[in-house]
A and B are shown apart, each in its own frame.
Chain A
């Protein structure tokens, strides 16, 4: 999880011709001051990439992974728009993993936020050069030309020149130093509804996901991994596995002790996936369960719960004195919330196809971070990264799982050993039982109310195994950025505050999952302030608006400091859509929650009913302010998906461990929301010209607390642990 990229340093632009007869423009994030032009395509391969062919075909390279967020369409449309290109000529190609493309990590809801501006500039540069080429041809000035749908037009006589026909001339044009970007009102694609460029492939089974990658004479592999994290093989008997038709080899693979190294185990190599699975089922393995062999998540949650009720490490910023506020309070409210581990469970399981030969390695895999896959592969093989090519396929969902390329290392190791292309496939059981889990969490909140029902003191204590432990096994306390996902930077105006973090040792691999720590901090905060509103006998919406306080832009070191006005605005929109305050049918309740994460503002209102002790969702209203957006329909689709993701968390999601092993194994016990549970979802996207911010993740955090708050509103019963299925109401 890297910090924020400084996008204003886009200042390195090059143009070069291609043997295939096209115009290529690229730019890279670099500290070079000059705009440089070279005329051949030797080593330079830029971050953002345009290839215009003589037949007009416009190939745009997408440096971020496509995992359902529509990034290929969105980023392509930004360039095409500034270029005044005709969408029908556009083809998107996926970049391989390489540092020369700049940061390619597709997580943190940052793709559009960090590279929209450079993308647009790339398009504008291309347009300006095509205009210059046409103007030269017509012997007029550039200002006498305009562009429209893949043509440059002579304003004097309406003569047209096709972009493709300008390729050769444009290659002779200097790269402009300054370009003007379009005005919002002139956009053809940005901010509009644009169909996914991949829709045809998706509806005909034609899109190649990682698991669909094929090479001649490839082998298929599964690996049996120790049920407890970081356990190892004591002994194994492969006789019965080898007897399965199609199984070609069985051998042990060692754990690679790196954050994204493989877990190790016993590999089964076969000539088809099924035989590899069957072979593995027939293995007899004795495991050394290792230091996590006794992990019991129920007992662990109890331990954390005990710990959270005593003073812990103080995390800045502290304000005033909570103790004083508590002793002067007219009412004290305290509550403890506990949430379980979760797993990403993307529909496409982790998998990778690798081919190691002649000192080189080529990989085809659904990875969110092709560069770290490349680093891991190179490190495993002890070769230079230049000799590793990572081809990024479509991702059948990622949610954070596929930015940890342990599965790539496995394929590389097996290919090396077999001297053949090998595809490692995780079964769903593997995916659920050997992941990098969303952490388990316990929070304790305590607040004081004065006689007017105003909050005077706020103590928030949190404990959870940190993602840092995946990188530094001894890490027992949360990382600053984890706490910063909404806990010690909540948007409230309270005079006395203290934040604390209690120790939590990891017993499984901990990793980020869509929305990360915002999931549980949003749950704690949004549930707790709902409890406060009830105690203060105030309308929850008004109470929360008041708690956020006056309009202000928070003073903080951030590219997009919190603007409370925008936060309150989305709350008001969602509430209005839900017709907040209306008379509700018997057994029904409305609940609201909001969150500021990934620099975007989201509020969600949910209507539930609880009848015969069964909860049913009736409506979801979500309002999002993500600044300027690229593709409205895509944004809406993401927010609808976030609502469903949040429902899974609220209603069903739980990963538990006993004797070191994960107890769930497939979709019958790791339950995901299905269609019949999903009510109408209404999404409002705020229109403004603010800088673009996150879309893929900010929608999730408010959903679960909004549901729990709605249940409270309907029944007077407060649920402080998830999932709700554990309470027998689902």
Chain B
């Protein structure tokens, strides 16, 4: 039995230490907002925060997450809440599948850089693929979030 702390809640689970956090979160804990896209750290669909740091859950073992605070898209942080508003204002999503990861990555960006430039955003978000091509809106929404925050 192991304990994962996700969005402030403890989950006691039975799973192999090597199981990537992604599958532990999705299949064992049952929180499916975190998505599988590639399994090899290429697409960012599986992004989560571990002790506030951006991480790709497909490429970290369950053992790494034990004893740490994990935030998923089902969770809440100040920046995540503001970004959600901005995402809604700008009407960012198309299919929506990548958006969990995009929002988590954007929240990590704002946690580290409250006023990012276009270039900062490009760099920070380059690990997240959106096959639907909502990149312009994501960028716009991040700027909108900054404005909302500074209001």
Contact = CB atoms under 8 A, between A and B. Distances in A.
Interface of A: 66-70, 193, 195-196, 198-209, 211-212, 214, 220, 245-246, 272-275, 277, 345-349, 394-399, 425, 427-428, 633-634, 637-638, 640-645, 666-668, 672-676, 678, 680-681
Interface in B87-119: 87-88, 91, 93-100, 103
A668 B59 CA distance: 15
Given A205-B32, A347-B45, 15 more contacts: A196-B93, A199-B91, A214-B32, A220-B27, A274-B19, A347-B35, A347-B130, A396-B35, A397-B97, A633-B91, A638-B94, A641-B134, A642-B133, A675-B135, A678-B133
A206 B16 CA distance: 27
B97 A673 contact: no
20 contacts: A66-B95, A67-B95, A193-B91, A195-B88, A203-B93, A204-B33, A205-B33, A211-B35, A212-B26, A214-B32, A272-B15, A272-B27, A273-B36, A345-B131, A398-B95, A428-B37, A428-B39, A644-B132, A674-B128, A675-B125
B96 A198 contact: yes
Given A203-B87, A205-B32, A346-B95, A666 B131 contact: no
B84 A680 contact: no
Contacts of A641: 94, 132-134
Contact of B129 (A70, A195, A277, A667): A667
A199 B138 contact: no
Interface of B: 15-16, 19-20, 23-24, 26-28, 30-40, 42-43, 45, 72-74, 83-84, 87-88, 91, 93-100, 103, 121-123, 125-126, 128-139
B64 to A, nearest CB: 15
A202 B35 CA distance: 12
Top 7 closest A-B pairs, CB basis? A205-B33, A644-B133, A396-B97, A68-B95, A68-B94, A205-B73, A641-B133
Contacts of A346: 95, 97, 131
B48 to A, nearest CB: 11
B42 A666 contact: yes
* Residue from the set B19, B20, B95 with the largest chain A CB neighbour count within 10 Å: B95
Given A345-B131, A394-B96, A666 B123 contact: no
Contact of A637 (B26, B94, B123): B94
Nearest to B85: A203
B23 A272 contact: yes
Contacts of B87: 199, 202-203
Interface of B is mostly: loop
Contacts of A203: 73, 83-84, 87-88, 93, 99, 103
Contacts, number: 183
A211 B22 CA distance: 13
A202 B99 contact: yes
B77 to A, nearest CB: 13
Contacts of A212: 26, 32
A718 to B, nearest CB: 27
A245 B15 CA distance: 9
B19 A272 contact: yes
B88 A199 contact: yes
Given A68-B132, A346-B95, A675 B121 contact: yes
Given A245-B16, A272-B27, A273-B23, A196 B34 contact: no
A69 B84 CA distance: 20
Contacts of B125: 674-675
Nearest to B97: A396
B137 A637 contact: yes
B104 to A, nearest CB: 10
B132 A397 contact: yes
A643 B135 CA distance: 11
A345 B38 CA distance: 10
A224 to B, nearest CB: 16
A640 B134 contact: yes
A347 B122 contact: no
B93 A427 contact: no
Contacts of B83: 203
A397 B137 contact: no
B36 A349 contact: yes
Contacts of B133: 640-645, 673, 678
Nearest to B38: A428
Contacts of A634: 91
A484 B32 CA distance: 43
A672 B42 CA distance: 10
B108 to A, nearest CB: 15
Contacts of B28: 272
Contacts of B30: 214
A275 B20 CA distance: 10
B122 A196 contact: no
Contacts of B134: 637, 640-641
Contact of A675 (B37, B96, B126, B132): B126
A397 B43 CA distance: 14
Given A205-B32, A274-B27, A668 B40 contact: yes
Contacts of A68: 93-96, 132
Given A209-B97, A640-B134, A675 B139 contact: yes
Contacts of A275: 19
Contacts of B94: 68-70, 397, 637-638, 641
Contact of A202 (B15, B74, B96, B128): B96
B131 A206 contact: no
B56 to A, nearest CB: 12
Nearest to B86: A203
B39 to A, nearest CB: 6
